[in-house]
Structure 1
């Protein structure tokens, strides 16, 4: 007779899950009973936070939810940071955990891995957390999770199953999928009003965030019809190719783009939070929009945060651009859209740092289809503003949003599993690498051919700079730097150093054809002159 754990595996397969990240424990053994005979690949990280970051990178790269199996108690507190990053960036992640037996819950009697209320703790870093107290709830709760991933603002979902429920007989459970609802489309009256505002605009501007990541084709049809410049956040890099004459690139934090947003008579903002990390990286203060603001978001609560709109529309980005392109007459074309976009692009690039530009040019020229997962490190701060892509889901990082460290090693591994057809680089600093260096063992064990590119400036370089600027004596930032070559070799990685562009290109190319992971270390002094911005 099949158990709850076994039918759970079948349900996940039916929802299209092919990879699970998890560390088995005494409370989750029964979740694994049906895994070996399934088509789902299991990846074992060395820390539950690594499991969450792997799932995050997998989801960002593939566009499908990352899935984790996590142990009760400490496993959930360990993964909470990764869930926080995914929540801030609206990344679909399914975290399935065990929890103590139903009769033990809330007793406080010192049971193994016991938390007073595990679900309440995790609910603060998830779209919802649900405890399956009865076996027959499981199909409904899974359906609700995949509805969130596909038709609402996505994010982590936590499902916890008591140990005594995991082992219950479950032959009677229907393992077929529930139908997944479509995301919301805009109301016709809202579309008509938006069209009316845009038709009368003399200086319109389109601003897109990560919520528009699947809407590139529809956005381009509309933008070309309107002939309007497009500004994107980090999570929307490549939604429209950077080479397109209407695309500005850069960041909403750039002075040039902040000025343009203030001077535009109409701003159409789709799928963006207007958050500090996207629009105020240099701490210049909140953005100002003096003209009319049409704001579109799949999450209605988001429409009242940060910036007050003239028109608030609850809709999926793709559905919105389809409606706008359909209803906008050809006569609405703006004459100087491309000219404005190119002038704005040139102004943005005046901040460019040549040596960082050369570093990224080497990567792009050597691996044209590369996907980069970045951490909080100095070349990532440069990439935030100036590294651009021709396709979506080819660059992301943890420096914005929650801003966690240790992300890039496991996230790049997850991204490579999600997009095995692409070369994948995890770009990380020497300080952040020490948060998750153990995941090199996971990559070697699973033979994931990812490239870990380690930028070494012997400490916490950014915080060191902030301390110096604030005239605070350095404490805790000039940390001991281990020998990453020995560490990499000890874990079984192909490990090298590059001291110039030519060596970096050669080593990237060699790493891209290996069957396992590679670690390439570069010293900041060989590639840049300190922080990328004045």
Structure 2
């Protein structure tokens, strides 16, 4: 009796001949690049280092496109954005010790945002693995331990025959919902040694699907169908799962208002009659959501920013659809549904009963009017004008990447992303320096659209070296640097908390002259000329820098039941 799983594909005569006669001059690094190619990778990011040279030498013999950045953390941010834009696992090639460790903050952001990054690092020679102190350059007692609490999975290779399977397993892990960064490490001697193994061709790593359990979606559908005041919070999981179309259909079927989290920007049309937009750091919005008798949370863990700094206290029944098991019911009791957002929304669409609610759009308009009135009372015209100028200058389909700076904090709440997967920020982990290198990764992923990066002067200096990368690869990225002379948001936080600041004021370069020294055109603008200057820069091929000297203020937050 023959079972399907007993069948083995027989190689053709040509395949057998190729396997028995591998080309000379290959090393362990070739097994890495051959596996990546076999899995479908076309582009790799990274930075060479002594122990990793076997991998980088093998790139010469491959069709993979290599994009080299100047700092490992920035290479990680570029890979993160490439993964977000394409939905593919983005390979990130790193060296041992300092090179590997420098990528940690970027991998934390990728983990927070569910971006599929496949980090492949070298290691000290095999003889040094497993503890002890052997005195190798870059040696760590246990390198993988530094990454285990950050990435989805860790894979340590000790022999060349392990390379294809380890990389395939990591690839599958990175692309299984929820997406995320993974770590593979390969010793220097394994990468450098000549190999007689055949060229890697038969490699497969199909990501596992995460369908919801049907008994749970049946209960959720019943609750939503009979709700008096349903509402929906849509998070980044909707964007990652490419489920915005299903979200819109469900919201319209249920007449349910939708608010998007900062990570879920673009998941729901901004001007839709049911759109509450993204004003999460606003007590009026919080009150509205607390008043829902059934609240559907899709693809969000309702963390600090999504819950108005943990002041959110829902009074109705919460239904939480979340692919990350650790986030399920981690902040609020709920009917917890562990599942991919796309598959879960489809299950609800197939089972909910349509409900009519003639008051929903009116309640949404009333809420947005209250939010606008509150902001209008704070005399923040310049800030709103600057953000509006950015929106008008940026083409509709162009992606934008935002650093942790005051204009970004405004954008989280007030910027219309226009479509899903076009607005990205570092709010997952909250590290500085994300915007520009991430924008470079997006420009590599899709060179047909200009890309915008937005930083403050403090965050800009984290990634200023990547102006060389932008010029070297002639990437279509415009970098808007809002120069306020320091860490502007920390200046506000410290002034509010202590009445004075420490460590927030910064000496900085002439950013226009500095950009031009890299061969990148730069222009100094003003709030009045920003739209024209930014549109012109975005319309020109290649990289550019636009510097806006301005001190922007943050709108007064309303949480904890305040004003």
Unpaired stretches in structure 1, ≥5 consecutive residues:
none
Residues in 2 aligned to 1:256 and 1:101: alpha-carbon distance in whole angstroms = 59
Map of 1:483 onto structure 2: 510
Map of 2:93 onto structure 1: 69
Shift of 1:274: 0.7
2:436 is paired with a residue whose SS is helix
Map of 1:263 onto structure 2: 291
Equivalences for 1:91-130 in 2 at 5 Å? 91-105=115-129, 106-130=131-155
Equivalences for 1:86-485 in 2 at 5 Å? 86-105=110-129, 106-168=131-193, 169=195, 171-172=197-198, 174-213=200-239, 214-280=242-308, 283=309, 285-309=310-334, 311-330=335-354, 332-352=355-375, 353-369=380-396, 370-398=398-426, 400-485=427-512
1:223 is paired with a residue whose SS is helix
The farther-off stretch of 410-419 and 262-271 is 410-419
The farther-off stretch of 407-416 and 508-517 is 508-517
Residues in 2 aligned to 1:341 and 1:321: alpha-carbon distance in whole angstroms = 22
Relative distance call for 1:140 and 1:494 in structure 2 (3 A) is same
Map of 1:505 onto structure 2: 531
1:158 is paired with a residue whose SS is strand
Q: How many residues align?
A: 524
Shift of 1:472: 4.8
Map of 2:49 onto structure 1: 25
Residues in 1 aligned to 2:225 and 2:477: alpha-carbon distance in whole angstroms = 48
Deviation track 1:275-330 (CA, whole Å, cap 9, x = no partner) reads: 113323xx4x4311111011111122221311111x11111100011111111233
1:27 is paired with a residue whose SS is helix
Map of 1:10 onto structure 2: 34
Map of 2:7 onto structure 1: none
Shift of 1:36: 2.6
Q: How well do the aligned residues superpose, as a CA RMSD in angstroms?
A: 1.9
Residues in 1 aligned to 2:74 and 2:374: alpha-carbon distance in whole angstroms = 35
Shift of 1:420: 1.8
Say which of 56, 73, 95 aligns to 1:49. Answer: 73
Relative distance call for 1:33 and 1:161 in structure 2 (3 A) is same
Could you tell me the TM-score, scaled by structure 2's length?
0.89
Deviation track 1:86-123 (CA, whole Å, cap 9, x = no partner) reads: 11222111110000111112231220110110001111
Shift of 1:182: 4.2
**1:90, 1:153 within 8 Å by CA — same for their partners in 2?**
yes
**1:378, 1:532 within 8 Å by CA — same for their partners in 2?**
no
Deviation track 1:100-157 (CA, whole Å, cap 9, x = no partner) reads: 1111122312201101100011112111111111333333322322322333212110
Could you tell me the TM-score, scaled by structure 1's length?
0.94
**1:351, 1:533 within 8 Å by CA — same for their partners in 2?**
no
**1:4, 1:170 within 8 Å by CA — same for their partners in 2?**
no
**1:447, 1:516 within 8 Å by CA — same for their partners in 2?**
yes
Deviation track 1:345-397 (CA, whole Å, cap 9, x = no partner) reads: 33333344432222222222223323210111111111111112221111111
**2:144, 2:154 within 8 Å by CA — same for their partners in 1?**
yes
2:119 is paired with a residue whose SS is strand
Map of 2:542 onto structure 1: 516
**1:97, 1:158 within 8 Å by CA — same for their partners in 2?**
yes
**2:211, 2:340 within 8 Å by CA — same for their partners in 1?**
yes
Deviation track 1:439-459 (CA, whole Å, cap 9, x = no partner) reads: 111111111120010001111
Residues in 2 aligned to 1:323 and 1:136: alpha-carbon distance in whole angstroms = 42
Shift of 1:243: 2.1
**2:254, 2:356 within 8 Å by CA — same for their partners in 1?**
yes
Q: Indicate the structure (1 or 2) with the bigger Cα radius of gyration.
A: 2
**1:194, 1:294 within 8 Å by CA — same for their partners in 2?**
yes
The farther-off stretch of 480-489 and 465-474 is 465-474
The farther-off stretch of 232-241 and 165-174 is 165-174
Unpaired stretches in structure 2, ≥5 consecutive residues:
1-23, 558-563
Residues in 1 aligned to 2:276 and 2:367: alpha-carbon distance in whole angstroms = 6
Residues in 2 aligned to 1:5 and 1:512: alpha-carbon distance in whole angstroms = 39
Say which of 523, 545, 561 aligns to 1:496. Answer: 523
- Tell me, yes or no, if structure 1 residue 533 matches structure 2 residue 556: yes
Residues in 2 aligned to 1:189 and 1:208: alpha-carbon distance in whole angstroms = 22
**1:59, 1:93 within 8 Å by CA — same for their partners in 2?**
yes
Shift of 1:30: 0.8
Residues in 1 aligned to 2:43 and 2:165: alpha-carbon distance in whole angstroms = 22
